[in-house]
Amino acid sequence: MNDELTDRLSRQLHDQVDGWHDTPLTLEGVQGRARTIRRRRRAMTSGVVAAAVLAVAVPAGIGLSSRTDSTPDFTNPSPTEAVEEQPSAIGLPYLEGRTLVLPSGEERQLPGRYDGAVVLGDTVLAVAQDRETGEARLVHEDGSEVPLATTTLATNSDASAVAYVRADDHVVVESFDGAVFDLGEQRANLSPVSLVGGPDCSAPGSCAVWVNRGEGGFEVVQNGGPRVEPPPGVKVQDVATDGRVSVVTRAEPIDGGSCSAVFDGVATDADSCTLTYGRFSPDGAHLSAGPADEDGAGASFVAILQADGEEVVRFEPGRGGFVFSSTWEDSTHLLVTTYDYEKGWSVVRLGTDGTREVVLGPRPRGDDVTPAYGVLGPTG
Amino acid sequence: MEVQPMGSTHALAGTGVTMAIGQSDRATGKDADFAAYMQARQASLLRTAYLLTGDRHTAEDLTQTAFAKLYLAWDKVRDQGSIDGYVRRIVVNEHNSLWRRAWKRRELSSDQLPEHPHHDDYDSGVGRELWDLVQTLPKKARAVVVLRYYEQLSEAETAEVLGISVGTVKSQASRALAALRDRAPETLNPNETSGEEDR
């Protein structure tokens, strides 16, 4: 029935474009776009700032929310059994548009859309970035703001304090009770990855902030005490509570090939050039990992490794999909934010025993760069 | 399409593109391979992008983004021998993203009058009505139409590119053609004019 119409349609489509033989795009232009895409993805997936929604300027002086009496318990995430009865809930706070959803189920409406947030006790600190200027700022509930050098934040193991880099390149630790500890001015282009110690950083040696340098390499910013010597590598991924360090030891700037290792002091517990190591589970027994070569559309899988580097679980999204980020929910569950070109964004709970369930979504909105859900926790 | 070889060559699996090695002193082997592929496929991909978007500048932007994502994934995609399908899938899915971003921009600037319609060099003026109708189709239906009736992909191949089922491809194509029949002027739809359709 459609033969004539489809023939006409086919002819017309060809007539419309068959005269087009121009090749205006250059390799240099494509490489530049590729670098931009890579920078954007790295910015969106680094640190605790996992949410990626269009930032809207927050009116100064407007609080993030009304105070509530509930205090999210980060040290004791919701039991798995309870979560399975309500699969839309997760044991970490997350952002969905302007709504911050806490593990208790409490929802707080934020006055604007943020690039991320961290919850310290019952206080919310949000991060907003101006899309035009690139300037970032940390917004407190009372409306006060701190200009930031980078959108990335790093919390300590019990989420009682957060480290960030101010626009004047001072590395700062802020505790849940509002105390601020300035670790001093550092070199430019640092991004915090992990805060060891705190929430009180007043005593020498009580806090150490692991930071990546923008030009490659990493270092440890301390408030005195015995000097921590970082292992060799080009990027630090995480620091376990027992002192082991997950490191990218080699990375190709464009094609994305890399090697990773876990260092325990000077010894290497595990290493790989087929996987990029990520974050340790809270108990340090497992490690998240992804492909060593970055995929153009995002990571093609996420894996859970044992401490010795042996892979025990792998999650690969459906056809055409990719892994955006992953965050440890507790010691035995990894929350994976993933995109499927047909279904949209989802968060999948991946167990160290191989179990998996979709806990948020799928939600068919947003493009493949701006996730519908921003799980708040150290991402890898 | 084949690139005229310069120096030693090898073929890229699944593309029919012969790659030249050592074309540039500065370029790495990867860059040389990628550049050859881009040169061979750019015009074709731009044509598809234009049919999806109906706008030359948007088509170029879409194609550059698709090539950039392909560049980042080059080694893996090349090893899998699926370059053409991969980059085509990116174009189609990026178009969906661009469409959404454009929609957001229009929403944010609703007080501004729309720009004058853009007529570019590729409007031959012949069959303009049908082309105009194609541009009114929903984006997924339009993608199905372009892949099926321009790229001449099978239903299964179209489903693969779009990441949807064959059944969805069939239903999208059917609805798109029905919409075109409903809206098409009589000269474009002689079957309906004669009253013979579906009898």
**Residue among A15, A31, A342 whose CB faces B126 most closely:** A15
Q: What is the pLDDT of residue A86?
A: 45
Query: Among A324, A347, A374, which residue's Cα sits nearest to residue A114?
Result: A374
Taking an 8 Å cut-off on Cβ atoms, the answer to whether B191 and A20 are in contact is no
Q: Which residues numbered 274-303 in A keep a CB inside 8 Å of some CB on B?
A: 293-297, 300
Q: Beta partners for A100?
A: A95, A108
Distance CA B65, CA B89 (A): 12
**Tell me: the pLDDT tens digits for A257-315?**
789 999 997 778 888 988 999 999 999 999 999 988 765 556 888 999 998 899 999 99
Nearest CA-CA distance, residue A52 and chain B, Å:
15
B166 CB near a chain A CB, below 8 Å?
A: no
What percentage of chain A carries pLDDT values higher than 70?
Answer: 80
B176 CB near a chain A CB, below 8 Å?
A: no
Taking an 8 Å cut-off on Cβ atoms, the answer to whether B64 and A38 are in contact is no
User: How many other β-carbons are positioned within 10 Å of the β-carbon of residue A15?
Assistant: 18
| B121 Cβ contact partners less than 8 Å away, ≥ 6 residues apart | A19, B56
Q: What six digits make up the tokens of A180?
A: 């601020």
Q: Which residues numbered 57-86 in B keep a CB inside 8 Å of some CB on A?
A: 60, 63-65, 67-77
B179 CB near a chain A CB, below 8 Å?
A: no
Which regions of chain B are under pLDDT 50?
Answer: 1-27, 99-126, 192-199
**Tell me: the pLDDT tens digits for A11-25?**
989 988 988 888 999
pLDDT tops 80 at residue A378: no
Please state, in angstroms and as integers, the Cα–Cα distance from residue A79 to each residue in A84, A105, A121, A279, A333, following that order. Answer: 9, 14, 19, 21, 11
Query: Ranked by mean pLDDT, which of A64-73, A124-133, A186-195, A369-378 comes out on top?
Result: A186-195
Nearest CA-CA distance, residue B142 and chain A, Å:
11
User: How many other β-carbons are positioned within 10 Å of the β-carbon of residue B27?
Assistant: 15
The crossing angle, in degrees rounded to 10, of helices B29-53 and B83-108 is 50
State chain A's mean pLDDT as an integer: 80
Distance CA A288, CA A311 (A): 9
Q: What is the pLDDT of residue B96?
A: 64
Q: What is the pLDDT of residue A60?
A: 30
Place of tokens 């950083």: A201
Residue type, A309: G
CA gyration radius, chain A: 22
Phi/psi at B13 (5° precision): -60, 135
**Tell me: the pLDDT tens digits for A331-355?**
999 999 998 866 788 999 999 999 9
User: How many other β-carbons are positioned within 10 Å of the β-carbon of residue A268?
Assistant: 14
A9 CB near a chain B CB, below 8 Å?
A: yes
Q: What is the pLDDT of residue B104?
A: 34
H helix or E strand, kind and range, residue A348: strand A344-351
pLDDT tops 90 at residue A52: no
Distance CA A115, CA A97 (A): 10
What number of C-beta contacts closer than 8 Å exist between A and B?
A: 157
Q: What is the pLDDT of residue A315?
A: 94
Q: What is the pLDDT of residue A80?
A: 33
pTM recorded for the entire structure: 0.58
Q: Contact at 8 Å (CB) between A135 and A129?
A: yes
Through-space distance between the first and last CA atoms of chain A, rounded to whole angstroms: 54
Query: Ranked by mean pLDDT, which of A101-105, A196-200, A339-343 comes out on top?
Result: A196-200
B171 CB near a chain A CB, below 8 Å?
A: no
pLDDT tops 80 at residue A34: yes
User: What DSSP designation does A157 have?
Assistant: T
- B67 CB neighbours in chain A (<8 A) are 25, 30, 33
Q: What is the pLDDT of residue A77?
A: 32
A2 CB near a chain B CB, below 8 Å?
A: yes
Q: What is the pLDDT of residue B119?
A: 42
Distance CA A317, CA B28 (A): 32
